[in-house]
Structure 1
Amino acid sequence: MQAGIFKVCLVVITAIVNHPLLFPSNNSALPTTDDLIIQKLKEREENLQLQQLELEQLLSRQEPPPEDDTETESKPTEDESLWDFWSVMSMIVFLMIEVWRQDFLDKSPQEQSKEEDDFMVNGSSCHGVSFPSKTMLAIFHDQYIRTTTNDAARTREFVEGFADDLLEALRSVCNRDADMEVEDSICVGSMYENWRLNKPLICDLLVPFAPPEPYYFCCQPWITSKSIIPNQQSYGTILVCGPEDQSGCVCDRKKLGEDMLCLLHNPSSKKKVTKDVNLLCSKESNYLDTDQVMKWFQTAITKAWGRISHKYEFELTFNHLDYPGALRVKFKSGKVISFNISPVVQYDDSDLYFISQFPSMDRATDLASSIHWNLSFAVYERRFLKDIAKHLPGNACHLSCLQIITFLHSKQCDITGPSGLTSYHLKTVLLHLLLTRSYYDWSNIMLEDRLRDMFKSLEKCLLEKRLNHFMIGNSKLPETVSLPEHFHTAEPLNLFRSFVLNRDLYQKTLSMFYEMLKNATVVINEYSFHLPTGPSNKNSH
């Protein structure tokens, strides 16, 4: 028995030592073709057979001579059975090693190439990066963020008042029987969520509009359709319907008595359809066209400003021709205030809106077609932040974390150029963390720890190429958000899907992220006042 174990150990050790994958220094080059692999295997098999014969001869010399005839007849039988058993075990071991080697050769090159692209960017990671100290973060927050927040409050107050006046003038110049009906503006975005930091300070306002009666919009979000590909789930279409399209009401399918009236379609309340109604549809279809809407809105804004311009002592111009809702106010003193006022369509009776274009995105890459509309969850996001702030400790650090990381991101983009990472992605990371961390973890004294959590979470999402939309398909969403049910139960939407489809964009974004990590401490120090050196400051750390 001991001799058999000794044989197997020698043979297995010999095979392992000669294995090219375990000891590449002895076999630096692996065969690259099937013929070379077969030839190497044959040579290895011959060498193992020779080694096996040598071991048998060596062991036969060490065995003592038999004492009698009975032992001579029985001993060879036992040795042969033991040798057969250990020979079979040796072949099984060799077979397992060879199968593992073939499987490794088939899968290893692709897996290694992906890991090098996805997980290795100059050997960087969050674990090896030094973040600014608590003292320096506190100084930066007091000296830079708080000052900017004061300016934001004054900017919001001016924009809200001027937007109300401008929209009222817009309604007065429109024909109510032929033009779109404009409602009051809705304030959304970073300025009204109190985390906008980067200048210029830009306010975002949504302006819902609707067609004149008896026409109406029928919104069709693609999130409810299983046939839509994943990267288009955040879009939808808007069908413009008229009196002949009221097939959903019972009164269209049944004849009502003379003494019965439909409360939805009372004939006395119907307006006469004007032939000159501009429904802003695309050519040869009944779908609302984003280009037509933006042209109409630009014209309406121009007429409205012409009516009230004499009341103000400043200039109003369009900030971007590609986005007519981007306006710019310039005072005589030279001060400039910019804001975005976006025409949107309300989805049913919810706070979800269809928007032609997000102001921060390039229109050329934002939409695949002029009849495709983006879904905006801005009202729900603002409501969530407002509700959760009621449960967080006083002077919580969640918005400060978002302000600091967006500040670092913008400064890094100024150096390396824009990438696939946006401020909305950073905001989404924070929203997810607010649901996973306890309320007490967001105390102001935990600013450094929560900022580190945000960077780690963002790094994990980048490496996995997956960042789920906070609203769509989020089972952890509180009921107070009151999101429509089919959005709540839908499949999660991956905001990083573009990284899966565009490898170059992903590499650029990942490199920018790690550069931002490396430069974080330096940038914070440059925008902070230096502490005077002294013993008291040493103890503060």
Structure 2
Amino acid sequence: MTVYTLNLRVFWPLVFCILLATLCFHQILHRGHDSGPDGCDTRSHALLSLVKLILAFGFGYLLIKRCSSSPRTGRREERKLQESLAGPPAAHPNAARKELLDTYYEKQVRLSPHVLGHSKAHVAKLVSELVRAGRADIPPESSLAFRGDYIQIGSAYEEHKVGSPDCFDLLVPLRLPRGLKLEPRCHLTGDCGPGGLAGCSLEAPRKSDWVRHHRAFVDGFFGELGGSEFYRLRPPQVLRWFYSNVQRCLSAIRYPFEQRCYITLSLAEDRVLLHLNPRSDYVCCHISMGVRLIPALHLGDGAYLVAQPKSGVPGSLHEMLWNVYFPKHEQKFLGWVKGRMPASSCHLKCLQLLKAMRELSGQMMDVKGATQWRTVLSSYAIKMAWMQLLLCTPPEAWEECHLVERVEDLLRTLRDGLHKRQIGHIFMRGDAGPLPDFHCLPKFLKEVPPTNLIAGFDPADLDLVSARLAYSWVHLHRLIRLGRPQRDSAARAMRCKHLDST
């Protein structure tokens, strides 16, 4: 992971000196050409040259002064932070770092509840109409269908989104054909590839009556492995059906929504994406949003299998695996945590800051290093480590005044997991501690070995990520100063007409 860092305090003064030398050289040549027969310049030409040099020196002074100060926290804040890092911990507590984190959080990380609420309302209205158009009250005899509802998942709905509310994830449950019974079977984590959740297949016996009477559906949606007694439902076929069905439903409801925004639908890398581009500020600040629709099959007890396969050889077991999601468990867990926390809790802020730090550090890497960095430190892996820390830490320790200590604890939890080559899933027999009473897994998942979210990664890559985490925390003030903003400041400054009318 090669890191490229540009020292702006040296770069811009150097550029100014080069330009100044060029100007002086040009002036000397100009004087040589414009001088009179006696070799003397006119008074007006000398005055013009003096004005040029004064302007050049003035511009250089402003440029150097600008580059010598931090655009994010200012010169005073950066000096404080550097002194606190250089001095002994007892003499310099975490006040400077806390001030830096608070400033960065308010300016670049925290979402406006008003803007987020508008975005969520617009997405909810569109997707509600979409799934209602494809709903089947009675399961069809030989086809899939929408169940008629959707489940909100991801950071935008769990209150830890970073930057801008421009991306939303929604599970769309499907109905299986009437009479079809599929048996889930879980496979070892190693079969799922690096960073994968437990992979499951959905199987139907070859000799069942339903399979014999519905050959068209079996040929279109099922696959088989040589010598197996079961057909397996294939996620790629379900994704293709889902995409075409969403297209059909979108055509039926498109007109009233396109009066407010442009709507496009795409299928890329096994992802069905709705793109919403507002025509006016019905959505605040003209935010262009992406809505990821994920087809899912209900397993029971709040668990879902999602059609989100990784790349695999067609016809192999790898291609027929589904991922297990626990949206209801995660929502209940976060609600339970929120009820235990003090009013001024920083637990969500801690998670947001760590995700923002990951993005800042990734901006300083080359493309290959940044891809590996974000793959190992996926948002889901960070969230699972954060949930483990929530179970192991008393609620009073999450007061706002302990923000720096809790961020350091989360960093330590992640680094320990990387060194041990194990970041567990707390709902898949994780060892984080006792879970609340409402946690209940489907029976077949209780027999699955513990899931490792970083299984299959190269140990050398894990060590590099761990070292980069420590470096990012120590040099956070530099990353903030050099990094690109998490969101557009111009969009943030725009007023919404709905606020003005209230």
Give me the TM-score of the superposition, normalised by structure 1: 0.61
User: Which whole-Å deviations, capped at 9, do the CAs of 1:406-434 have from their partners, x for residues lacking one?
Assistant: 01101222222122221111111110011
Identify which of 138, 141, 146 aligns with 2:105. 141
In structure 1, give the amino acid aligned to 2:306: I
Distance 2:192 2:308 in 1: 20
Q: In structure 2, what is the Cα distance between the partners aligned to 1:287 and 1:327?
A: 29
Residues 1:441 and 2:397 aligned together: yes
User: Any idea what SS the aligned residue of 1:212 has?
Assistant: coil
The C-alpha deviation readout for 1:462-487, integer Å capped at 9, x for no partner, is: 22222122111136222222334664
Question: Does the aligned pair in 2 maintain the 1:181–1:210 contact within 8 Å?
Answer: yes
Give the structure 2 partner of residue 353 of structure 1.
304
> Kindly tell me: are residues 504 and 327 of structure 1, through their superposed partners in 2, closer, same or farther at Cα, counting changes over 3 Å?
farther
Match of 1:379 among 304, 328, 333: 328
CA distance in 2 between counterparts of 1:174 and 1:318 reads 27
**2:435 matched to which residue of 1?**
477
Secondary structure in 2 aligned to 1:389?
helix
Verify the 8 A CA contact 1:350 1:484 in the aligned structure 2. yes
Determine the structure 2 residue equivalent to 1:42: none
Alignment of 1:22-171 (within 5 A): 133-171=97-135
What are the superposed Cα offsets for residues 318-360 of structure 1, whole Å, 9 maximum, x if unpaired? 355222422211223564111111111111x2111111218xx
Task: Confirm or deny that 1:291 pairs with 2:236.
Answer: yes
Structure 1 CA distance, aligned partners of 2:136 and 2:255? 16
2:67 matched to which residue of 1?
Answer: none
Are the aligned partners of 2:295 and 2:306 in contact in 1 as well (CA < 8 Å)? yes
Task: Supply the AA of the counterpart residue of 2:437.
Answer: E
- Give structure 2 stretches of 5+ with no counterpart: 1-87, 281-285, 487-502
Equivalent residue number for residue 153 of structure 2: 188
Corresponding residue for residue 494 of structure 1 = 452
Q: Distance in 2 between matches of 1:511 and 1:166?
A: 46
Q: CA deviation at 1:204?
A: 1.1
1:281 aligns with 2:222: yes
> Which residue identity does 1:328 align to in structure 2?
H
Structure 1 residues 235, 316: closer, same or farther in 2, change over 3 A?
Answer: same
- Rounded to whole Å, the distance in 1 between the matches of 2:165 and 2:271 is 18
Pick one of 349, 359, 378 that aligns with 1:422.
Answer: 378
Distance in structure 1 (CA, Å) of the matches to 2:194 and 2:481: 42
CA distance in 2, matches of 1:364, 1:276: 24
Paired residue type of 2:434: K
Task: Give the CA RMSD over aligned residues.
Answer: 3.7
Structure 1 unpaired stretches of 5+: 1-126, 247-271, 529-541
Task: Give the alignment partner of residue 288 of structure 2, picking from 307, 316, 336.
Answer: 336
1:300 aligned residue (245, 251, 255): 245
In the TM superposition, what whole-angstrom CA distance separates every residue of 1:348-392 from its partner, at most 9, and x where no partner exists?
x2111111218xxx6569x96221111112331221011121011
Does structure 1 conserve the Cα–Cα contact (< 8 Å) formed by 2:195 and 2:454?
Answer: no
Classify 1:151/1:375 alpha carbon distance in 2 versus 1 (closer, same or farther; 3 Å): same
Cα distance in 2 for residues equivalent to 1:229 and 1:309: 39
- Number of residue pairs matched by the alignment: 370
Give the conservation status (yes or no) of the 8 Å contact 2:191–2:318: no
Give the Cα–Cα distance (whole angstroms) in 2 for the partners of residues 339 and 229 of structure 1: 26
Deviation (angstroms), 1:168: 1.4
**Post-superposition shift, 1:460?**
1.5
- Deviation per CA, 1:150-208: give whole Å up to 9, x if none: 43222222112211101112237999333212111111121111101144631111111
Residue type at the aligned position of 2:232: Y
In structure 1, C-alpha distance between the alignment counterparts of 2:429 and 2:349, rounded to whole Å: 27
Change (3 A) 1:517 1:496: same
Deviations 1:53-79 (A, max 9, x none): xxxxxxxxxxxxxxxxxxxxxxxxxxx
- How many Å apart are 1:230 and its aligned residue? 11
**Which AA in structure 2 matches 1:211?**
L
Q: Distance in 1 between matches of 2:192 and 2:407?
A: 36
Helix, strand or coil for the counterpart of 1:159? helix
